[in-house]
Amino acid sequence: MNNTDKLKEVLNDYIQGLSDRDLVDLHREYCQAMNYGDDEIYDIETFFSDFFCDVKDVYNDVICRIDYSRFKDCDDWAKFDCRGNIVSTSIVEAWIDIDDIVDHIIENDDDLSDTDIREILDDHESADDETEDE
C-alpha cells in the first residue's frame, strides 16, 4: 500500500466516523469548494425557515416543490433535487460520496475547515518527508 492509499484509508475512516451533523457540515464545505451549491444538504428542522419566510411562500414554493414519493416530514435531512423538488432522507450517507470528498482533500490539500483533517494531512506530509530522508 503506497502512502496515498494509506492517506485515503485514514481520511475515509475519519469521515465515516463523523456524526451525521459533522458529515453534513463537511459535505457543505466540500460543495462550496467545488461550487456544487445544488448538492447542499440541510437539517430538515431549519430547512423551511431558512428558505421560505412567510405563509404565501410556503404555499406557492413549498407545496409545489414537495415530491411526495421522496419527501417525508419525519426525515432528518432535506435538499433540492435536480428539478427543484424538495426531497428528504434519514440516511444522509446515501447523498454523500465520501470517496469524492477524500479525493478532493488529497488533490487540493484542502482540509475543508476541519482541524482534524488538517492534522491528518500534516502528519501524512511529515511521514512522507521522513521517508524521503531515509
pLDDT value for 37: 86
pLDDT value for 48: 73
Classify 86 as helix, strand or coil.
Answer: strand
- Please, are residues 3 and 124 in contact by the beta-carbon 8 Å criterion? yes
Residue segments in the chain with a per-residue pLDDT below the cut of 50:
none
pLDDT value for 35: 95
Q: How far apart are CA 26 and CA 51, in angstroms?
A: 21
Query: Alpha helices, DSSP H only, in the chain?
Result: 3-16, 20-34, 44-51, 55-57, 64-65, 98-108, 115-133
Classify 89 as helix, strand or coil.
Answer: strand
Give the closest residue to 22 by CA, choosing from 134, 127, 115. Answer: 115
pLDDT in tens, 15-29: 999 999 999 999 999
Classify 33 as helix, strand or coil.
Answer: helix
DSSP secondary structure code for residue 60 in this structure: I
pLDDT value for 80: 86
